[in-house]
């Protein structure tokens, strides 16, 4: 019984020590949407070009909602821990950009660069 009480006490004290440490949530995510008046095909083509220009390897191209005129492309950066996704929704007339990364500064800098591009 004493062994159990010692283990329980150690677990309680250990939990208290762990919970007193500040924790930072990751990844950092930046998202914005823009008006878009072109076709989904043109948007997708241009979005892929923008991602390649900024050293992203193209990943998944989601065309499962193409009938509803919604497509998206995901890119994974070649040297940084960054992911970007651009979605084109012709029906609603918007395009959405999302950038996420483990380093807040790098993620925000890439978001600003992609934000200035046109697709």
Instruction: Dihedral sign for Cα 45, 51, 53, 58, please.
Output: negative
pLDDT at 1: 45
User: 105 with 31: CB under 8 angstroms?
Assistant: no
User: 28 with 103: CB under 8 angstroms?
Assistant: yes
Q: Please state, for a pLDDT cut of 70, what percent of the chain lies above it.
A: 82
In whole angstroms, what separates CA 69 from the centre of its chain? 22
User: 102 with 91: CB under 8 angstroms?
Assistant: no
Nearest partner of 86 among 52, 4, 2, judged by Cα: 52
Structure token digits, residue 10? 């150690």
Given CATH 3.30.70.100, say whether it is the number of domain 23-116.
no
pLDDT tens-digit map of 36-87: 999 999 999 999 999 999 999 999 999 999 999 999 999 999 999 999 999 9
């Amino acid at each position: 019984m004493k062994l159990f009480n010692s283990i329980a006490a150690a677990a309680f004290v250990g939990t208290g020590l762990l919970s007193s440490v500040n924790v930072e949530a990751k990844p950092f995510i930046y998202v914005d949407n823009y008006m878009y008046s072109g076709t989904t095909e043109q948007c997708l083509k241009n979005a892929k070009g923008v991602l390649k220009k900024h050293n992203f390897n193209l990943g998944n191209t989601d065309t499962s909602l193409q009938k509803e005129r919604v497509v998206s492309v995901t890119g994974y950066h070649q040297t940084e821990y960054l992911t970007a996704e651009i979605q084109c929704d012709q029906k609603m007339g918007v395009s959405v950009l999302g950038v996420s990364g483990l380093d807040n500064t790098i993620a925000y800098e890439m978001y600003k660069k992609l934000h200035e591009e046109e697709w």
